[in-house]
C-alpha cells in the first residue's frame, strides 16, 4: 500500500482515548499514520474525579471544560478528533444492561442502533480508515456508553462498506481491520504487580489480583501487541490533560514509567474482523496492509 495509512479509534467519552491505546496512537502518529479519534459523547454526566477540582463552578461548566480538556489531549497525542454529538448516559448506581434502573431519555444508550451508528458511518466514509479500534462486547466495563460504543462500531464497520446502506452518506468505504482494546489481562497486571514488589514498592493491584474473578480473563484473547513504551510519557501527559477525570496522584500513576516500560512495553489488542490476510500473533495494527 502506497497511500497514507489511517487509523480511527472510537471512544465513549473525552478521556477514554487517553487511557486506552493512547501510546499506540502516539507511536503511529510519529510514524506518519493519520489518526482520528471519534468521541461519541461529550461526557456531560461524568463525575469530577479529581478532588482538587470538585467545585460547584466546575460541575456547572463540565461540558465546556471537558471539551477543552479533549482539545489539549488531542494536541498532546497529535491526533485528529471528531465529536459524534450524543449525550452522555451517566452511570446510575447499580445499573446493568438487564436492570430496571432508568437512564435519561436523551442519552446515547437509548438511541436506536441505526440512529446512533449513522454519524459514525458518515465519519468512516469521510475519513476512510484502514483500521478501526473500539471496546469489546462488555464495553471494557459495563458503562452504558461503552456498551453502546461497541454496538455502533460493530454496526458501522460493516455498514460503511455496504453501498446499499446509509446511502445519504456518500461512497461506501470498508475498513480492513477491526480491533478491541485489551488493557487489563491478568498477565499484564501480574507483571506490573511483581515488578513493583521487586523494587520494594507498594502495588495498587494486590487486592485486584486476589479478589477479582479471573475465570473470564480476556488476556488470552490478545492477538496483537504494539510496542510503544517510548510513548508512555505522551500517553500520561494526555491523560493528565483530562484534569477533571484523573487524579494526578491516583492509582493510574502509581507505577513508575521506567518500570512500566520494562515490565510491559506494549499496548494490546484483539483482532476481531479482518479483510486482509495476516499472521498471528501480530506486532502491528497494520499487519497485512503495509
CATH number at residue 130: 3.40.50.10320
SS3 of the chain: helix, strand, coil, percent, to 5: 40, 15, 45
Query: Are the C-beta atoms of 124 and 166 separated by less than 8 Å?
Result: no
**SS3 assignment, position 102:** coil
User: SS3 for 31?
Assistant: coil
Average pLDDT over residues 184-193: 95
Question: What H or E segment, with its residue span, contains residue 80?
Answer: strand 80-86
Q: Is residue 286 part of a domain?
A: no
Query: What is the overall mean pLDDT for the chain?
Result: 95
Mean pLDDT of 27-48: 96
CB 108 within 8 A of CB 145: yes
With beta carbons less than 8 A apart as the criterion, state whether 14 and 242 touch.
Answer: yes
User: What proportion of the chain, given as a percentage, has pLDDT over 70?
Assistant: 99
What is the model's pLDDT at position 52? 84
Q: 54 or 15: whose pLDDT is higher?
A: 15
In which band, very low, low, confident or very high, does the pLDDT at 50 lie, cut at 50, 70 and 90?
Answer: confident
How many domains is the chain partitioned into structurally?
A: 1
Place of cell 487509523: 7
pLDDT at 284 over 80: yes
| Length, in residues, of the chain | 290
pLDDT greater at residue 59 or residue 155:
155
285 located within any domain: no
**pLDDT band per the 50, 70, 90 thresholds, residue 111:** very high
CA distances from 21 to 15, 145, 217, 222 (A): 11, 18, 19, 13
Give how far the C-alpha of residue 160 lies from the chain's centroid of Cα atoms, to the nearest Å: 20
Task: Tell me which H or E stretch contains 274.
Answer: strand 266-274
First to last CA, the chain: 6
Convert the pLDDT of each residue in 114-136 to its tens digit: 999 999 999 999 999 999 999 99
pLDDT of 2 over the 80 cut? no
Please indicate, yes or no, if residue 237 is contained in any of the structural domains.
yes
Q: In angstroms, rounded to a whole number, what is the distance separating the alpha carbons of residues 264 and 14? A: 25
Mean pLDDT of 32-47: 96
pLDDT confidence band for 213 (50 / 70 / 90): confident
207 in a labelled binding site: no
138 appears as a binding residue in the annotation: no
Three-state DSSP at 90 gives coil
User: For 60-69, 158-167, 169-178, 230-239, which range has the lowest pLDDT when averaged over its residues?
Assistant: 60-69
What pLDDT does 46 receive? 87
Helical axes 144-159 vs 113-127, angle rounded to 10°: 60
What's the confidence (pLDDT) of residue 1?
64
| Residue 173 included in any domain | yes
Q: For residues 160 and 173, is the Cβ–Cβ distance under 8 A?
A: yes
- How many CA atoms does the CB half-sphere of 271 hold within 13 Å? 23
13 annotated among ligand-binding-site residues: yes
Please state, for a pLDDT cut of 90, what percent of the chain lies above it.
Answer: 86
Asked if the structure places residue 224 within a domain, the reply is yes
The domain of 34 spans: 6-274
User: What predicted TM-score, i.e. pTM, was given to this entire model?
Assistant: 0.96
pLDDT of residue 163: 97
pLDDT of 68 reads 97
Q: pLDDT by residue (tens digit) across 53-98?
A: 888 887 789 899 999 999 999 999 999 999 999 999 999 999 999 9
Amino acid at each position: 500500500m502506497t497511500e497514507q495509512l489511517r487509523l480511527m479509534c472510537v471512544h465513549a467519552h473525552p478521556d477514554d482515548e487517553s487511557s486506552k491505546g493512547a501510546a499506540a496512537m502516539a507511536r503511529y502518529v510519529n510514524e506518519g499514520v493519520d489518526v482520528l479519534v471519534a468521541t461519541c459523547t461529550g461526557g456531560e454526566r461524568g463525575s469530577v474525579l479529581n478532588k482538587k477540582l470538585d467545585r460547584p463552578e466546575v460541575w456547572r461548566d463540565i461540558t465546556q471544560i471537558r471539551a477543552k480538556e479533549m482539545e489539549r489531549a488531542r494536541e498532546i497525542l497529535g491526533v485528529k478528533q471528531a465529536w459524534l454529538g450524543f449525550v452522555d448516559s451517566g452511570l446510575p448506581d447499580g445499573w446493568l444492561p438487564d436492570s430496571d434502573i432508568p437512564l435519561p431519555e436523551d442519552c446515547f444508550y437509548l438511541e436506536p442502533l441505526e440512529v446512533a451508528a449513522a454519524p459514525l458511518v458518515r465519519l468512516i466514509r469521510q475519513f476512510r480508515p484502514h483500521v478501526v479500534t473500539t471496546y469489546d462486547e462488555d464495553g471494557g466495563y459495563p458503562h452504558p456508553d461503552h456498551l453502546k460504543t461497541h454496538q455502533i462500531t460493530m454496526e458501522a464497520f460493516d455498514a460503511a462498506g455496504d453501498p446499499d446502506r446509509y446511502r445519504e452518506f456518500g461512497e461506501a468505504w470498508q475498513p480492513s481491520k477491526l480491533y478491541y482494546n485489551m488493557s487489563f489481562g491478568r498477565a499484564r497486571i501480574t507483571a506490573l504487580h511483581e515488578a513493583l514488589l521487586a523494587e520494594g514498592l507498594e502495588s495498587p493491584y494486590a487486592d485486584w489480583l486476589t479478589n477479582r474473578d479471573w475465570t473470564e480473563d480476556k488476556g488470552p484473547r490478545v492477538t496483537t501487541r504494539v510496542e510503544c513504551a517510548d510513548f508512555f510519557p505522551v500517553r500520561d501527559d494526555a491523560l493528565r490533560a483530562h484534569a477533571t477525570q484523573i487524579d494526578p496522584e491516583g492509582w493510574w500513576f502509581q507505577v513508575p514509567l521506567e518500570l512500566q516500560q520494562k515490565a510491559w512495553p506494549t499496548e494490546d489488542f484483539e483482532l476481531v474482523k479482518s479483510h486482509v490476510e495476516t499472521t498471528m500473533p501480530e506486532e502491528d495494527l497494520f499487519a497485512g496492509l503495509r
